[in-house]
Amino acid sequence: MALKPLLGDDNFVTTRLDQVIGWARKFSIFPYPFVTACCGMEYMSLSSSHYDLDRFGAAFPRFTPRQADMLFVVGTISHKIAPLLKRVYEQMCEPKWVVAFGVCTCTGGFYDNYATVQGIDTIVPVDVYIPGCPPRPETVIQGVMMLQEKIANGKQDW
């Protein structure tokens, strides 16, 4: 075996439990898409074989927030739907992460009016912002990779 010369007579490898759990979590992200507007079309293109989100462990969407640990908020959020978004977030189990997908989700975009939430970080805490109108799939992949790093390096709660 290739490890035998490195380990000598020792038959075990030690590491921090936080690092092992972080590594495992970063490749098993269960997304729940909260799609409300036109960015949903670009979000759907991420599921194609061309972009292959499966390699990041984040492709198969969950059908209930109780099964998910990543909330993908895609599109414009109005003040009328904001309480529903808050409720979906509260239904998710810990640990949970939120990704703001698109400029309307991040800052309200060009909808600077009384009916639109000017950034979902006023409703739920956001871990990764992915700007664009709509964001390109490559930008979304970069955002997922940034979230993976945050998950892997984060402090694990017991």
- Residue 41 is part of a domain; what is its CATH number? 3.40.50.12280
CB atoms under 10 Å from CB of 93, counted, come to 11
Instruction: Please state, in angstroms and rounded to a whole number, the distance separating the CA atoms of residues 146 and 129.
Output: 10
In a domain? residue 20: no
pTM score of the predicted model: 0.82
In a domain? residue 118: yes
Total count of domains within the chain: 1
pLDDT tens profile 19-52: 777 777 888 888 999 999 888 888 888 877 788 8
**Residue 116 contacts residue 107 (beta carbons within 8 Å):** no
pLDDT tens profile 48-93: 778 888 777 777 788 899 999 999 999 899 999 999 999 999 999 9
User: Smallest Cα–Cα separation from 87: which of 123, 61, 62, 118?
Assistant: 123
In a domain? residue 2: no
What the block records as the tokens of 50 is 């061309």
User: Smallest Cα–Cα separation from 54: which of 136, 127, 141, 149?
Assistant: 141
Domain of 61, in residue numbers: 27-152
pLDDT of 12? 59
Match 């759990």 to its residue by tokens.
21
Instruction: Please state, in angstroms and rounded to a whole number, the distance separating the CA atoms of residues 33 and 53.
Output: 14
